Structures are given as structure tokens and as C-alpha cells.
Structure 1
Amino acid sequence: MTEAKKKIKRSRNGCHNCKRLKIKCDELKPSCSYCVKTASKCDYSLKLTWGGRPYKDSTKRRQQHVTPTTAASTPAPLDTVQFVVQSFDPSTHDPQSPQTTTGSISSPHIQEDPNVHFDLHTNDPEKQDNFLTNYEEDIARAELYMPETPSYFARDYQPIRSSQETAVYSIPPQITPLPTLLLEVPFYRDLLHFWVNVASHHLVPAPVKVYQDNPFKMILTQMAMEYPSILTTLLAFSAKLRSVLIDSNDTPEFVIEQLLTRSCTEMLKILRDRTSAISNVALATSLLLSCFEAFNCKDFGKHRTHVIGARQIIKARSALPMSRGPDTGTERDITFFLMRWFVYIDIIGSLSSARNSDNYLLVADDVTSYEPVESVTSLNEIDDHHDPKRAIDHLMGFDVKFLPHLAKITLLIRKTERYLQEAPGSTSIPISIVQEALEVKDAMVGILAQDDDVMLEAHEQMEKDKRKRKNSSTNQTSPPEIVSMIQENTILRYTNRIFCDTGIIHLYRRVLKIPRTSPLVQELVNGIGKLAKDHIESQSPTDVCCIFCFFTAGCETLNQDMRQFFQQRFEKLIAMGNTSAKRGLEIMKRCWETDEDWISAAKQLDLDITLL
């Protein structure tokens, strides 16, 4: 008689160490017995995996991870996107234990498989719902640190212990009434106030007066009033930006973690339904989480995970017909906003990442188009709105027409790298790559010239309006708002040129392998430095949004005065708490010392970076 096999009771809510080692966890909080015994960090945090479970074979996992998709491929049906969320128990969070990483979202394995089914692993939906409707922990965490005195930033009062009436009046009326979470937790109202009046302006290069309909301020905040996953992620992002811009200790991590815990739990609810899983809400939440992790600068793997999640949502949505209305292609169009946001992250991320750049722009090298870029450019070409922002996109700071060419530069970089790997010792680039690179360069220069003409015409019209208003007024001085508009609109003309020249620098250095000493390279990098020095204010939102361009120019310049300028510019960003600037300056200095390219310098310094 054979002995009955002993049934093993699995631990569904164990810590990640025990799960990784496949041992039973006793689930003690804050640390299980095994982690206490081995002096290991015990982590019960939520892990969000976009795309399904990975192969056990690491070789297959790498191959699956980098498999590109083509724009010509058939759109993924709605039931082919898989989101796997590991167990999460919100009842375990202790407001007195700030060291617990309760709100982290990460993905140790990323897999994109077009043939997987929709699957969701949750723990206890009822317990999650109870957590989402209970605000005692949020209040307790905020009260642990909340100062009694107010803080000031950018001449704008930021209430700390504001009454409900004060907080509501400080928030634009079009985004009220406020959700229960904001009414119950006063400090969260302060964070929303900071987002609307300060933080949202630091995410776009266009000056505030020029970009009154900034979608980070208008669209995203309005969506947050209706959808809790967006609200809690937005508040966490606002808290992080507030800590950087005001004081490094302004908002402790455990308050941000509590908000991210809510974001994760709300995301679980969204992913239970196939329709909501590919909605604008899911896409906006993924993009917010992606930008939060990039700004947080602690683990760019998390940032790239959410980029891949956003891409899967967009791929699944491509099977749906695109509806058009009176707001289609305008700043009021949610889809247009989210698609531009994603494409910007995807393309600039592919050019600015020191590692794993293949996590971005997952498209075959030989395709002639990239579907997300095509969607953005087609929406931007709707010309019945007569929108002055059509020339230079205020959200990105450059012409939308540059997007396919910047994407092409990334694909040419990959072609060149693959060729040099397959032909070690070769010093020449195939003529086909050279020809494609020169075509991209000529196209970008042509677009820039057209944009300059359009901007000059717009400025001439503003001058006419200024003279007309001046002549019709008893006051003989020029209307200050028009003078300011001309000056601030000119800034976008400069950012447009800066991004164009940055793309061409990557084309010269990384595709054509033109040496740094070439006058072609030095003219472009020093030109970027001069524009920054003369026209872009240090520590301004425009300065922050052009960090990728200034980093590129700083690494390549041979001019000592320019090196000193870029060093000072980055040191000022570091003083603001910009961690990406700190890493960027380290890489920049090594380029100056060793004459390495910035990718090699980052590798030698063991630094990961993505500049958005």
C-alpha cells in the first residue's frame, strides 16, 4: 500500500522572499519568521506584472521580452491582454511603520505575449473595498508629520491645515465637487491644490500664460475627480514634486506609499473588467505611475514596466473604432492628450535610456510607420480647429511632425549597433543606413524651417494686434499681456529647435558614428547651450523639460565655457532635488574626463537613467 502524498498548504499572502524561495511563509507582520532569522528585508508589497507570467527559462524570457511588434500586425483583440496582479492585503498596513513599502508597484518579469488570455489574480475584493472606503489610516499618516506652519512656494500660498471651505475655494470650480477622499483628508486637498497651481506646470515646457489649457492641470485633474486610481496616483506624484520643489522632508515616504497603496488597490478593481482594463482611466493611471517612477529615480525598471503596460492597453484599444467629435484633436480631447503623453515617453525614453532601451518603441526596424505615432499625427492634422498650437505642440515642446523621425533615429541606432556587433572591427557604416540617416536629417531640418516661418508669422500678427490696441488706447505703452505672450511664445520656438538639434546629434553620434570633435557635432551642441543660456531660465519648467537635450549637449561639448555652463545648470537642478540631474551630471563629467560616449560612461559608472 502506497503512502498517501502529504498535501502541501500554500501561503497565498506570503512575503516576496518566501515566494521567491518557494517556502511557506508564516505571514507575520511586519517581518515573517524566515526574514527575521535571515536578517532579510521582509516585503509584502504589491507587485503588478503587465503581460503575464514569465518563462522559467531565462533565455526564453529574454527573447520574449525583446520581441518587437510591427505596426502592420493585426490589432490585439480585447481578450488578449493579460494583467497579473499578485496577492495584496491592505489590512496589513500599519501607519506607525513608515519603513514598510506598502505602496510599491513593480514587475520583476515583463512579458508581452499576444496570445495570452485575460487573467487577474486578486486576494479579497471585499477586503480591498473596505480599505478603499476607510480613511482613518490616511488621516493618521498625515497627522504623524503635518507641520503647524504654512509653507510658501512660487509666491503661492500652500495651506497645510486648511479648512474644507478654504481648500475648495483654492481649487478651480470646474473640478468640484470634491471626492470623499479629499473631503475626509485635509492634507490631500492641499496636495491637489499644489498639483493644480504648481506641479502641473512643471510637466510641460510651455509657459503658464501661453498654455492655459494644460491637460495635466485641466483634463487629468477633472478625471481624478471621477476616478480614484488617477486621483491617488496624482496626489502621490504631487506629494513627490512638492517634496522636491519645497523641502526634501516636506512629505515623508510613508504618506506617498499610502497613496500608492490606494492606487494599486483601485487598479485591481479596474483590471477585473475587460472594458475598463483598456479604458482611458487605466491608460492614464499607467502613464502617471510611469512618470512617477521616472521622477522618483529609484528604480527605472518600474517606470519601464508601466510603459509596457500602457503600450499593451493601446495595442488592445487599436481594435476599437476611433470616434470623432467636435473636440477631436484639441486640447480638450482626452485620447489625444494620453496618446501624445505615451508617445513622448516611448520615443524620448528610447533615446535617453542608459539601459534597456529596447523596453521602449517595440517595433521592428524595417517598418515604415509606428501606429501610436500615426494616431497622434493624424489627430494633430485635423485643421478645422485653427489651433495655434498645431505648429509646436505645447505639451511636448516641439512639432508633432518630428515624432516619426525621432522614432526612426532610435531604429537606426539599433540597426547600427546590430551591424557593428555582427561585423566586429568594422569602421564603416553600410550605405543604406547612411542614406536613411541623411533623409531623416533633411526632413527634420525642413520641418524646423517651416515651423520658424509659421512662428514668425504668428509673432507679426501679435505685433499688429499690439499696435492696434496701443493706438486705440489713451495709454501709449504696449499692452503687457501681448508683450509677454510674444516673449513666452518665442520660448517654444527655441525648444522646438533644441529638440530637433538633439535628434540630429544622436543621428550623427550614434548612427553615423561621427566623432565628437567634428564641427558638425560641436556646432549643434554649442548652439543648444547658447539657446539655453540666453533664453531659457534656470530651474524653470522649460529647463526641467529640456533636461534630455541639455544632457546630450553637455556630454558632447568640447568647449570649456559650455561645460561650465551645463555643470552649473545641472547643479541648480540638483539643488531643487532633481535626482536625474545628479546622475546626468555624473555621466557628463565622466564623458569630459574619459572622452567616452554617454552610454559607455553610464555603464562604467553603473548608473541607470531615463530623462523625460
Structure 2
Amino acid sequence: MSRSFTGCKRCKARRQKCDEQHPECGRCKAAGAQCRYAMQLQWGGRAFSRSRFGACVGPGGMQRLEYSPGEFVYTTVKNEQMSPVESMTPVSSPSSASSPDLPLVRQIDPFSSLPPTHKTLLQHFIRDASHVTSCHPGMQQEICKMIVPMALQTPSLLYATMALSAIHLEALNNHSEMVKTAPDIARLMARSLEHFRVELQDPTRKGSDALLATARTLCLAEIHSGAIQPNTWRAHIEGARALMTTTQTSATPNTAFRKYLDRWYRSIVALSALNGNGPPIGEKFVDSESRDDWMANDPDYLDDYWGFTVQLADIFREIGVIAWQRHRNNSEALEFQGGDEESEERAATLEKHVLGLIDRYSDGNQLVFYPGVAERLSEDSIREFMLCNEAFQHTALIHIHRRIRKVPVSSPEVQYSVKQILACTSQIVPRSGLSPWVMLTTPLFTAGCEALGEDREAFKQLFLSLHDTTRIPNVLQSLNFLEVYWADDDKNDEEDWSHYLDRMNFDFIPY
């Protein structure tokens, strides 16, 4: 077999000779692997700035666009005011006759090879669906710039992104309650999982950001659709955990996208810990002495992706561990000496830390954002982030009182936090995205479950407004569960909502 440069991508990556049979070569057919042929363009020679082409274009006329580590193209400098969609959409070249002073500019349409339906879904993701996963425009643009180019090279991520977009599109058409049974969405999810399994076996993709991005997008698609069956959204978080464990031992570069994925994983694990339908993912907690030192010395960054601070995320995980251990012991009727006393002591420590965080920011201290974030936010956005973070702080207090201490729902400490969450969330302006408003499902649901009297109607109206603006089907699912929980007069007063749903065999996360 003679040497050739036109073999399939798998053989090239494995440095093996390819027989170049179509539609699949012999090696890929024998291995049962996907076989793909693609032409890879390479440039060499002088540096671009010193090349003849670079000299013709002149300074400031071109820029290097790196769409994945080590892979880049040169493109025209785009207008800073251009939206992510406009920067990815082809534009017609100006006529030299009508505009003699303007250079000919033609941008490449990255979606040109996609079927029309796929192209439509990706454009909807960029224009609309990505807004409901972002708390401000800067983050939405960063997500699109990271996700979309990677999706065009990774089939599993492409189909997962289109599924997330299709879910939002169905909800916009007032079909939120039918999303889980929509055949088109089911096919997109199935295709994503099919490609995902193949890509996980590819040694060249081991530890790649694309695989972790796929797990993240599949998880969001399951949650947004309102999935309630076991091993749906939770399975993707477990998969992300396994991928992150693998990459920690590999030479994967710590890119900006990887840092974003790390933040997503830490926070989704924290929110899942507030769900009592299973053991917290990555079950562990820090001893009290280490916790005091950590909280005293480290900055408490507010994660602008989720709307709450780093320290609060860690507290959520510890709440989940303690509550799950206590629930498991009670369910199995195990007697262990000092169990309740130990839980109470740990609950008191957690409450102390949460109250300390509330006092810190109520004294006029500003939240600390990650570097470069606060400069892109308006004063109103910063104020709404503070209100969102305060709502999550009182969410933590409710979980401590109800799930660990088993305090009655009518107790003053529980009802105080309920009213504080109602006050905070009512001051955040309802928007269709790019605002902390899109992150309020968890605090609204937590407080709504403990609401009494007229407060229940207030939370119902907030949920309806949240769904009408964001069009996330899981928001409507959360309201449906809330009304079922309110209507059940036979439930035990000590039974919190997470264990109530566990008894009903629902695996649900209010996000």
C-alpha cells in the first residue's frame, strides 16, 4: 500500500495506512468506527504579517481567529458592535462600482454545509436559546464563540446544541408541556448520544473540551425539557465528573473554555446537592476548622453564570451531604449514637457561615466578580446580581432548617427566608434572557414550597412570568410540582419537598 495524503481522518490521526475505500475504509469498517474523509488545508512559509498577502491587506485589516487550540484561520476584522449571529453570518460583497473606496470583503458562512433545518436551529441557538443560559450579554457572546465553532467539528455537540435550541423553539410556540414527547427533539438527542459514544472511544479526543461541552449541553437539554425520570440529567453530570477526572491526569491545556466548563460543573453539582433524590455527586465535605480558614482567606467570587458566590456553592454541597446522610439513616431505621447531635452541630456551622455572608454584603460591601466581568455590567445588572445572590443565600437557610433540622414550615426562621426570597426576586426585572432573572427557578421553587397563605399566589405569578419570558419548559414543570405539593394535605410536616418527590419517584431539579 503506497503512502497517500488523502486517507480518512481516523487513519491519519492514528498514523496508519489507509486503503481509501469509500464510503468507509477497511480499517474503520473492521473496527466498527465512523469513517470520515476531509481535506485539511495547511499553510507554511513566511509569517502572515510579512507575506505578500499580508502586506497587501495592510495593518489592522486582518486578524487571526483561533477556533480551537492550535487551529486558526485569518479573517477580516469584524465590527465590534456586531452580534455573534452577524459575525457568523455571510454578508454580500459590496460592489466596486457603487463603493470604489471600500475593499472587497466576503465572510465565510460556517453553516453552508449544513442542511437547512440544522442551520436554522444553530442560528436560533445563537440569537435566542443561548440567552436563557446567560446572565449578561458578554457571557452569551463568549458561550457562542466557544460552543458553535466546536460544535461544527464535533457531531455529538452539534446535535446536543440543536436539541437545546429545538426545546426552546418548541416552548416559544407554546408547546412547553409537549417537549418531552416531541419526536424531532428525541431524534436529535439520540443522534447526539450515538456520536458521543463513538467519540468517547476515540483516543485523539481523550480529555478534550468538546466531550465535556457535550456532557454539559446534554445535561442542560434534559433539565430544560423538564425531565423527571431517573438517570437522565443526573447521568450527564456523572459523565462530566468522569471526564473531568480523566482530564486532571492528562496534559489537557487549561483554556478559557475549560475554566468555564469547570465553573459550570462545580455549580451544577452544587444545585444538584439541593435535590434529595439521590446521594450528592462527588460526595465530600470540608471539616469546620478548614472551612473557617478557607472562608477567611479566599475571595468570594460571584459566578456570573449562576448568580451566586463560590463559597455559597460549597455550602450547597455540604447541605446535600448532611441532608442525604440523615435521610438515609432515617429511611433505614439505623440507630447511631450522637447522629442527631452531629447533624445539628454541622447545621449550626453552616448557618453561621451563611449568615456571615449575608452580613458581609448587607453592610454595603460590593460583590467580587471574576476579573474583567464587572467592567462589562451596568449598575442595574450588579444590583440584580446582588439580589439574586441574596435569594440563593436564603435558599441555603431554608434547606438547613427544613432538610437538616426538620424545623416546621410555619416556624419564624423558615417564613422569614421565604419572604426575603419573595422580596429579592420581585425586584429583578423579568427579561427573556441576559439577566440574573433566568437563574431564579431554584430559589423561587425552594421558597414556594414553604410559602403559606397569600405568598403562594405571589410565587405562582412569579413562576408564570419566569416561564413567559424565558420559555424554559422546566420552569412550567416546577410550577406544576409546586401546585401538587401545595394541594397534598396528607404529607408529613417534617417531609420536605425533595423527599416528597423522592416518594413519588420523580428525579427532578428546579433549574
Global fold match (TM > 0.5): yes
Whether 1:569 and 2:462 are equivalent positions in the alignment is: yes
Whether 1:583 and 2:493 are equivalent positions in the alignment is: no
Whether 1:486 and 2:379 are equivalent positions in the alignment is: yes
Whether 1:270 and 2:199 are equivalent positions in the alignment is: yes
2: distance between equivalents of 1:445 and 1:528?
A: 15
In the other structure, the counterpart of 1:296 is: 225
**Closer/same/farther in 2, CA of residues 132 and 398 from structure 1, 3 Å limit:** farther
In the other structure, the counterpart of 2:281 is: 361
Does structure 2 retain, via aligned residues, the 8 Å contact 1:167–1:190?
Answer: no
Q: Which moved more, 1:488-497 or 1:220-229?
A: 220-229
Q: Which moved more, 1:276-285 or 1:239-248?
A: 239-248
Whether 1:237 and 2:164 are equivalent positions in the alignment is: yes
Q: Which runs of 5+ in 1 are unaligned?
A: 1-121, 134-155, 169-175, 325-331, 384-389, 460-480
Specify the code of the residue in structure 1 equivalent to 2:485.
Answer: C
TM-superposed CA distance for 1:203, in Å, is 0.8
Does structure 2 retain, via aligned residues, the 8 Å contact 1:392–1:451?
Answer: no
Cα-to-partner distance string for 1:374-427 (whole Å, 9 max, x where unaligned): xxx99x97x9xxxxxx7321111111121221111111102322343455799x
Structure 1 counterpart of 2:275, from 352, 365, 368: 352
In the other structure, the counterpart of 2:497 is: 598
Cα-to-partner distance string for 1:306-362 (whole Å, 9 max, x where unaligned): 2111111112222236866xxxxxxx7111111111122222112136x3x22x423
Q: Any residues of structure 2 matched to 1:107-122 within 5 Å, and which?
A: none
TM-superposed CA distance for 1:257, in Å, is 4.4
In the other structure, the counterpart of 2:341 is: 431
Whether 1:417 and 2:310 are equivalent positions in the alignment is: no
In the other structure, the counterpart of 1:510 is: 403
Specify the code of the residue in structure 2 equivalent to 1:232.
Answer: Y
**Closer/same/farther in 2, CA of residues 127 and 212 from structure 1, 3 Å limit:** closer
TM-superposed CA distance for 1:491, in Å, is 0.6
Q: Which runs of 5+ in 2 are unaligned?
A: 1-27, 40-82, 94-106, 370-374
In the other structure, the counterpart of 1:311 is: 241
2: distance between equivalents of 1:393 and 1:408?
A: 18
Q: Any residues of structure 2 matched to 1:93-172 within 5 Å, and which?
A: 128-129=34-35, 165=90
Specify the code of the residue in structure 1 equivalent to 2:172.
Answer: L
TM-superposed CA distance for 1:542, in Å, is 3.4
**Closer/same/farther in 2, CA of residues 561 and 244 from structure 1, 3 Å limit:** same
2: distance between equivalents of 1:302 and 1:132?
A: 34
Q: Any residues of structure 2 matched to 1:188-587 within 5 Å, and which?
A: 188-204=118-134, 206-208=135-137, 211-212=138-139, 215-248=142-175, 253-274=182-203, 276-298=205-227, 299-320=229-250, 333-352=256-275, 355=277, 357-358=278-279, 360-364=280-284, 368=287, 391-421=301-331, 430-451=340-361, 456=366, 485-537=378-430, 542-558=436-452, 560-573=453-466, 578-587=472-481
1: distance between equivalents of 2:443 and 2:29?
A: 44
Percent identity between the aligned chains? Answer: 22
Does structure 2 retain, via aligned residues, the 8 Å contact 1:452–1:493?
Answer: no
Specify the code of the residue in structure 1 equivalent to 2:169.
Answer: R
2: distance between equivalents of 1:293 and 1:362?
A: 20
TM-superposed CA distance for 1:572, in Å, is 4.0
2: distance between equivalents of 1:288 and 1:504?
A: 30
TM-score scaled to structure 2, two decimals?
0.68
**Closer/same/farther in 2, CA of residues 602 and 362 from structure 1, 3 Å limit:** same
- Runs of 4 or more, structure 1, over 6 Å off, are 122-127, 130-133, 249-252
Cα-to-partner distance string for 1:249-294 (whole Å, 9 max, x where unaligned): 9999444345445423432442223452332111111111111112
**Closer/same/farther in 2, CA of residues 263 and 507 from structure 1, 3 Å limit:** same
2: distance between equivalents of 1:402 and 1:533?
A: 22
1: distance between equivalents of 2:92 and 2:347?
A: 53
2: distance between equivalents of 1:165 and 1:214?
A: 18
Does structure 2 retain, via aligned residues, the 8 Å contact 1:271–1:277?
Answer: yes
TM-score scaled to structure 1, two decimals?
0.58
2: distance between equivalents of 1:506 and 1:515?
A: 12
Does structure 2 retain, via aligned residues, the 8 Å contact 1:289–1:306?
Answer: yes
**Closer/same/farther in 2, CA of residues 302 and 593 from structure 1, 3 Å limit:** closer
Cα-to-partner distance string for 1:4-32 (whole Å, 9 max, x where unaligned): xxxxxxxxxxxxxxxxxxxxxxxxxxxxx
**Closer/same/farther in 2, CA of residues 308 and 391 from structure 1, 3 Å limit:** closer
**Closer/same/farther in 2, CA of residues 190 and 588 from structure 1, 3 Å limit:** same
2: distance between equivalents of 1:280 and 1:258?
A: 24
2: distance between equivalents of 1:259 and 1:167?
A: 32
Does structure 2 retain, via aligned residues, the 8 Å contact 1:573–1:581?
Answer: yes
Root-mean-square deviation (Å): 4.3
**Closer/same/farther in 2, CA of residues 214 and 506 from structure 1, 3 Å limit:** farther
TM-superposed CA distance for 1:487, in Å, is 1.0
Specify the code of the residue in structure 2 equivalent to 1:362.
Answer: G
Does structure 1 retain, via aligned residues, the 8 Å contact 2:307–2:389?
Answer: yes
Does structure 2 retain, via aligned residues, the 8 Å contact 1:188–1:235?
Answer: yes
Specify the code of the residue in structure 2 equivalent to 1:515.
Answer: P
Q: Any residues of structure 2 matched to 1:26-65 within 5 Å, and which?
A: none
Does structure 1 retain, via aligned residues, the 8 Å contact 2:431–2:437?
Answer: yes
2: distance between equivalents of 1:167 and 1:442?
A: 61
**Closer/same/farther in 2, CA of residues 456 and 215 from structure 1, 3 Å limit:** same
- Secondary structure of the corresponding residue to residue 297 of structure 1: coil
2: distance between equivalents of 1:310 and 1:167?
A: 41
**Closer/same/farther in 2, CA of residues 604 and 260 from structure 1, 3 Å limit:** closer
Does structure 1 retain, via aligned residues, the 8 Å contact 2:270–2:314?
Answer: no
**Closer/same/farther in 2, CA of residues 399 and 517 from structure 1, 3 Å limit:** same
Does structure 1 retain, via aligned residues, the 8 Å contact 2:430–2:465?
Answer: no
Specify the code of the residue in structure 1 equivalent to 2:510.
Answer: L
Does structure 2 retain, via aligned residues, the 8 Å contact 1:529–1:566?
Answer: yes
- Secondary structure of the corresponding residue to residue 392 of structure 1: strand
Cα-to-partner distance string for 1:449-469 (whole Å, 9 max, x where unaligned): 43456764899xxxxxxxxxx
Paired residues, what number? 409
1: distance between equivalents of 2:331 and 2:186?
A: 43
Does structure 2 retain, via aligned residues, the 8 Å contact 1:502–1:552?
Answer: yes
Does structure 2 retain, via aligned residues, the 8 Å contact 1:587–1:598?
Answer: no
- Secondary structure of the corresponding residue to residue 231 of structure 2: helix
**Closer/same/farther in 2, CA of residues 439 and 262 from structure 1, 3 Å limit:** same
